[in-house]
Amino acid sequence: MDEDNVIVVKSDTTEYLDIIGDIIEGEMGFPHSYYALESVKSGWARTVVAFLDDTPIGVGIYYNIDPEICVHYYIVVTKNYRGLGVGKILVSSIEELNKNSTIFLATTREDNHASRRLFRSLGYIEYTWDYLEEKVGFKTVREIMRATCGFDDDLVMVKASSDDSLSLLARYVWKRRKTVLKVWRDICWKPWIRLRMH
């Protein structure tokens, strides 16, 4: 990629669902592309796609729990274009599209250093589930896990407009636990059941 190339991010790109599926499957494998597409088909999630000229080089999938909470569900950049700032462009674009959100969340695994660095470099603070449980209690952590579909991950990354981001997160998620349950059922649980039945 030379300096003259321009990266264009297109949002709410449901017409690119095939591209999104191909990129996520190619980079992360089938179950991930399946869950990502199911989240969009459920009506909850929306998408951004980064293009370099006409080539799609990265995708982001996110959803809201009311306008206040925005969850980055998948951020994926194709291998040849990693380490060039595309991930940061995708996350920042999602933040820009969700200016009304006061809390942004993402989850990842401890050994996913690229993902951890990506979010940390944009001001996200990471917590282990155990640490969160000590701070806000098991029931609230369960709601945060549901809200993020982050059961298979070790870390949750939080960016909030308040200094006391954990109390804000706990309060927001607990207050919206009915919506959280719906999101979890549609994005996480039902697709999991359907996958098992095949």
Ligand X SMILES: CC(C)(COP(=O)(O)OP(=O)(O)OC[C@H]1O[C@@H](n2cnc3c(N)ncnc32)[C@H](O)[C@@H]1OP(=O)(O)O)[C@@H](O)C(=O)NCCC(=O)NCCS
Residues forming the site for ligand X (CB under 6 A): 27-28, 74-77, 82-88, 108, 112-115, 117-118, 121
Q: Give the contacts of 1 (CB within 8 A, at least 6 positions apart).
A: 52, 81, 84
Tell me the C-alpha to C-alpha distance, in Å, between residue 18 and each of 42, 100, 179: 16, 29, 28
Nearer to ligand X, 59 or 97 (CB): 59
* Nearest distance from C-beta of residue 163 to ligand X, angstroms: 22
* Nearest distance from C-beta of residue 100 to ligand X, angstroms: 23
Nearer to ligand X, 119 or 184 (CB): 119
Q: Give the CA angle between residues 126, 11, 13 to the nearest 5°.
A: 115
* Nearest distance from C-beta of residue 152 to ligand X, angstroms: 11
- For 72, list phi and psi in degrees, rounded to 5: -80, 110
Q: Using CB atoms, what's the residue nearest to ligand X?
A: 87
* Nearest distance from C-beta of residue 176 to ligand X, angstroms: 23
DSSP state for residue 27 in the 8-state scheme = H
What whole-number distance in Å separates Cα of residue 106 and Cα of residue 62?
A: 9
CA 173 to centroid of chain Cα atoms: 16
Nearer to ligand X, 65 or 106 (CB): 106
* Nearest distance from C-beta of residue 58 to ligand X, angstroms: 6
Nearer to ligand X, 1 or 195 (CB): 1
Nearer to ligand X, 141 or 149 (CB): 149
